[in-house]
Amino acid sequence: MKIIRALGEVPNSARNGSVVLGNFDGVHRGHQAVIGEAAALAKKQNSPLVVVTFDPHPRVFFRPHDEPFYLTTVEQKARLLAALGVDYLVLLPFDKEFSIQPPEGFVEQVLVKGLSAKSVIVGFNFRFGHKRSGDGLLLKEFGASRGFDVTLIDAVASAGGGIYSSTHIREHLIAGKPARAATLLGRPFEIVGTVSKGDQRGRELGFPTANLALGSYIQPAFGGYVARGGLEVDGKTRWFDAVANIGNRPTLDGKTVLLETHLFEFNDDIYGREFRVALIEFLRPEQKFDGIEALKERIEIDSAIARRMLKIRSVGAP
C-alpha cells in the first residue's frame, strides 16, 4: 500500500478508483464493512482501492484541549488498512483552510481534480465540508453532476444489535471492558510506542517492565490487565504473554501515567524498541497499597491470574 500525503502527489495509478472517505479511527468492524464493500466494487470495476482520511483527526483541530482519544496511530491505521487490501491511503492535512472549505469545494478539489474518482463509498454518518454541512445525500447529488457514483453503507450492527462505532469502543475502554472493545474492533485494543527507561522499580520488585507513554491514545481504565506484548523479530511480530498496569503508580508516588508491561519468561533489553501491547482482560482497578511488599504480592497474584487466563485462551484457535 502506498501512502500519499498531498493531492499533488497522487499518481495516475491511483486515479479513477473506488474511493472510501472517513476518519477510520480504530478501523473497527463497521469500518471494515465499508472498506469491504469498496474492495468488492474496486474488483468489479478493475480500479484501485483508495482510502481518504484526515490527519490530524478533525476533533483534534476543533477541540485541541480535549483529553487524548485516539484508538490508533496513523501508523497502526495504515497497517490495518493495508491488511484489508487498500492500494492507496491518502492522508489529507486537516487545518483551518481545509475546515472552512464548502462541500462543493471538497468534492471539486479532492474527488474530482485530486483523485478523478470513479466511485465513492461512505458510511451512513459521513459528513464533509464547512460545519459538517454535507452528507451522503448531498454527495450523491454532486456525484450525479460530476460523473462519479456514490454508495452509502448503512450502520453495521453486532449480533446483539449494538452499532459498531469508535465512540462505543472508547466507552468500553474507559469502563475497563477491553474484551467488549475487542468485539467491536475485531481484535484486541493495542497501544504501540517506544520503550522508555524508567526508574527500575519493577526490576527491583522482581517484575521488570517495558514502559510506554500513552501519548495521544485514549486512557483506558487505570488498573491491572491481562495482556500480550509484541516485538518485531526477523521482520515479524512475536507475541509474549504478559501482565500490565495502566496508571500513575500511587504506591510508588508516581506522577506520570504509564503503561507498564511485564513479559513472562523474557529478560532481553528492549529499551528504544517499538513495542505493541494488546489489552486482553481487565484484572482490577488501580489502588494504593500499604507498602512495597503488599504491591509485590498483588503483582504475583495478578501474574498468576494472567498466566492462567492466557493459557486457557491459547488452547483455542489463535
In a domain, 164, yes or no: no
185 and 306 belong to one structural domain: yes
| Of the residues 153, 170, 193, the one at which a domain ends | 153
Residue 302 clears pLDDT 70, i.e. is over it: yes
Please state, as a whole number, how many other Cβ atoms lie within 10 Å of the Cβ of residue 225.
25
64 and 203 belong to one structural domain: no
89 and 31 belong to one structural domain: yes
Whole-angstrom distance, CA of residue 180 vs CA of residue 310: 17
| Cross-strand partners of 121 | 20, 151
254 and 114 belong to one structural domain: no
Whole-angstrom distance, CA of residue 82 vs CA of residue 78: 6
Work out the pLDDT band at 126, boundaries 50, 70, 90: very high
In a domain, 170, yes or no: no
pLDDT for residue 264: 95
Residue 150 clears pLDDT 80, i.e. is over it: yes
In a domain, 266, yes or no: yes
- What number of helices (H) and strands (E) belong to the chain? 10, 12
137 and 186 belong to one structural domain: no
Max Cα-Cα span within the chain: 72
57 and 109 belong to one structural domain: yes
pLDDT digits (tens, 9 = 90+) for 202-251: 666 667 899 999 999 999 999 999 999 999 988 899 999 999 999 987 77
In a domain, 175, yes or no: no
Q: Residue 143 carries which side chain, given as an amino acid letter?
A: G
pLDDT for residue 203: 63
Distance of CA 180 to the CA centre of its chain: 15
CATH number of the domain encompassing residue 95: 3.40.50.620
pLDDT for residue 161: 66
249 and 301 belong to one structural domain: yes
Would the CA dihedral through 128, 35, 86, 230 be positive or negative?
A: positive
Measured N-to-C along each axis, helices 178-185 and 166-174 cross at an angle, to the nearest 10 degrees, of: 160
Work out the pLDDT band at 8, boundaries 50, 70, 90: very high
Please state, as a whole number, how many other Cβ atoms lie within 10 Å of the Cβ of residue 219.
16
Q: Which long-range contacts link 179-185 to residues 24+ away (Cβ below 8 Å)? A: 179/280, 179/281, 181/279, 182/280, 183/158, 184/28, 184/29, 184/158, 185/26, 185/27, 185/28, 185/29, 185/71
* Residues of the domain holding 262: 181-315
147 and 16 belong to one structural domain: yes
pLDDT for residue 268: 86
**Three-state DSSP class for residue 87:** coil
47, 114, 132 from 150: Cα distances, Å: 15, 17, 18
User: In the 8-state DSSP scheme, what is residue 147?
Assistant: T
pLDDT for residue 201: 64
pLDDT for residue 291: 78
- Mean pLDDT of all residues in the chain? 93
46: which residues sit within 8 A by CB, 6+ positions away? none
The residue-averaged pLDDT of 100-126 equals 96
| Of the residues 153, 171, 206, the one at which a domain ends | 153
Work out the pLDDT band at 130, boundaries 50, 70, 90: very high
In a domain, 158, yes or no: no
Whole-angstrom distance, CA of residue 168 vs CA of residue 136: 22
pLDDT for residue 48: 98
Q: How many domains would you assign to the chain?
A: 2
Lowest mean per-residue pLDDT among 190-194, 199-203, 258-262, 297-301: 199-203
The residue-averaged pLDDT of 288-308 equals 90
Residue 198 clears pLDDT 80, i.e. is over it: no
Whole-angstrom distance, CA of residue 123 vs CA of residue 153: 5
Distance of CA 276 to the CA centre of its chain: 12
Q: Which three cell numbers stand for residue 146?
A: 460530476
148 and 22 belong to one structural domain: yes
In a domain, 299, yes or no: yes
In a domain, 269, yes or no: yes
CATH number of the domain encompassing residue 185: 2.40.30.30
Whole-angstrom distance, CA of residue 249 vs CA of residue 258: 8
In a domain, 186, yes or no: yes
pLDDT for residue 318: 59
Whole-angstrom distance, CA of residue 272 vs CA of residue 250: 26
pLDDT for residue 307: 96
pLDDT digits (tens, 9 = 90+) for 43-75: 999 999 999 999 999 999 999 999 999 999 999
